[in-house]
Structure 1
Amino acid sequence: MARSLLGFLPWIAYAVVATSDEWRYGAILGLVIAVGVIVIDRRAGRTWDQMVIEVSAAAFFLPITVISFVSPDSPLMPYGPALVNAWLALTAWGSLAVRRPFTLGIARRTTPPEVWRTPLFLRVNVVITMVWGAAFTVAAVALAVLLHEAPHATAAVVAVKILSFAVPAVFTVRYPKAVAARHLRPAGHTA
């Protein structure tokens, strides 16, 4: 799980460092971390499908970094947290649209190869990716509304940011265990 969360480090760093006054540092840090994690992962033999979130981070932070320097007062600046979640939602839903849930590559890091091609493995990852996509979508909308209507509601913004990662992360840990327990239960056993 800790290794899987490393892919979210660029997003977390941006969320912590970027402020409404100075989003450039968060954008640069997110980009540097994303590229660094990609380089480390590739050197460790990770395949591209195991780095969807990392590649998505680089693809997001590169233009955001450029925009933050070219136009530091861009009207996008106050909506950085909403944009992050919208991009992550697009990544999750896009991976489902091409029938390659972004969680597949991550799950393969900790799952035996003989399980990878089973319909259940794919189904579990579709459900997990849908939960991440839903969390990011709800957070993007909530943050956009909050940042527009109550730009100084820092506690609410922080709560949405935390929940948009914590809820699906907990689900990601628990759901496969629940599915495995259900499918490994002896025949005729009810609970």
Structure 2
Amino acid sequence: MKATVLVLSFVPLIVFSLLARVLPAGGIGIAALVAAVLALGALLVGRPIWPPKIISVLSLVLFAVLAVLGFTLGHQDDSRLATWGGAGVGVVLGLLVLALVPVLPFTEQFAREQVPRSAWDSPVFRRINRVLSTAWGVAIVALGVSRILAASLERFHAIEVIFGLIVPVWIIVQMVRFTKTYPERVTRGESRSG
């Protein structure tokens, strides 16, 4: 599986997080709308187009709801939504990914584009994707928690930078590495024992 293609599916979350931080008060609806449009674009250009990538569907629904809330809430609520929604969206998305692991590990949709159809039902293929999807779900929750810490400690600029930027980038880099190496380690171990 190509880790970069997988990471690109998180562009709506990344763009939303950035816009939620930099747009003035009242801009959370715009940030969520941009993220929803990006998620819709990912659905429309993703191959194969059917079935749609579950991560893009989750992002589209999540950001569409946030856009509606952002455009309909009053200024005071919108300000809170910008502070906490921008951080909490990662937690919600990560929990949704984790909840779907037993039913449909989201990485499986990406892996099927690279792996022959004959391997899709193998226990190794399924185990790899359950582990990868679980790891990504936990990582996304950790990103959200890190952003919540950054938002709650914003008066301490250095700590905000650590939890709002450094920790999220480190988590993503580690997940890209893990996504690239884990399937190969498992299949190499299976071929040695088989």
- Normalising TM by the smaller chain, what interval? 0.7 to 0.9
1:62-77 to 2 correspondences below 5 Å:
62-71=64-73, 72-74=75-77, 75-77=80-82
Instruction: Tell me how far 1:105 sits from its aligned partner.
Output: 0.8
Q: Distance in 2 between matches of 1:13 and 1:145?
A: 19
Number of residue pairs matched?
183
Q: Distance in 2 between matches of 1:149 and 1:56?
A: 29
Check 1:90–1:180 CA distance in 2 against 1; reply closer, same or farther (3 A cut): same
- Alignment of 1:120 with 2:103, yes or no, is no
Q: Which runs of 5+ in 1 are unaligned?
A: none
State which of 23, 36, 41 in structure 2 corresponds to 1:36: 41
TM-score (norm 2): 0.83
Structure 1 residues 12-64: Cα deviation after superposition (integer angstroms, max 9, x where no partner): 221232226333332121011111111222xx43333x501100110111011
Which of 15-24 and 84-93 deviates more? 15-24
Identity across the alignment (%): 24
Q: Distance in 1 between matches of 2:67 and 2:124?
A: 40
Q: Distance in 2 between matches of 1:86 and 1:39?
A: 25
1:132-147 to 2 correspondences below 5 Å:
132-147=136-151
Structure 1 residues 48-91: Cα deviation after superposition (integer angstroms, max 9, x where no partner): 3x501100110111011111111254222202342221122122
Q: Which residue of 1 aligns with 2:83?
A: 78
Q: Which residue of 2 aligns with 1:89?
A: 94
List structure 1 runs of 4+ shifted beyond 6 angstroms.
none
- Alignment of 1:185 with 2:192, yes or no, is yes
State which of 154, 167, 170 in structure 1 corresponds to 2:177: 170
Check 1:45–1:111 CA distance in 2 against 1; reply closer, same or farther (3 A cut): same
Instruction: Tell me how far 1:186 sits from its aligned partner.
Output: 7.2
State which of 42, 48, 57 in structure 2 corresponds to 1:45: 48
Q: Distance in 2 between matches of 1:18 and 1:77?
A: 6
State which of 149, 153, 161 in structure 2 corresponds to 1:155: 161
CA RMSD of aligned residues (A): 2.1
Instruction: Tell me how far 1:175 sits from its aligned partner.
Output: 0.3
User: Which protein, 1 or 2, shows the higher relative CO under an 8 Å CA cutoff with sep ≥ 6?
Assistant: 2
Q: Which residue of 2 aligns with 1:102?
A: 106
